[in-house]
Amino acid sequence: MQKGHTQEKRINVEAEPGKEFVFRLRDGKEVGRAGNINGFESLVRVLPIESLEYHSKAKHFSPWLIYITQEKTRKGVGFY
């Protein structure tokens, strides 16, 4: 590794069917769905800010992120 560069570690695991993170607007309209960390990160960059504010204020992100990291451990999937 070159000096000054960091190596990112990402979780490479899919959520079980039905346990994807569903991004919604306050009125319940679905605007995105993520089944893994990469999808989650990609959607966060392009979703309407209203959806991000809604989920952030309701503290929806942490439980799903904890779930997906626990899936990594349960399935024995490593970081890449």
Tokens of 39: 């999808």
Beta strands in 11-64 (DSSP E): 21-24, 30-34
Tokens of 28: 């319940």
79 vs 69: CA distance, rounded Å: 10
pTM value?
Answer: 0.77
72 vs 10: CA distance, rounded Å: 10
In the chain, what are the domain boundaries? 21-75
Give me the pLDDT at residue 13, please: 87
pLDDT tens digit at each of 80 positions of the chain: 455 555 556 556 899 999 999 999 999 999 999 999 999 999 999 999 999 999 999 999 999 999 998 876 776 655 44
Give me the pLDDT at residue 7, please: 52
Nearest to 50 by CA among 70, 75, 32, 35: 32
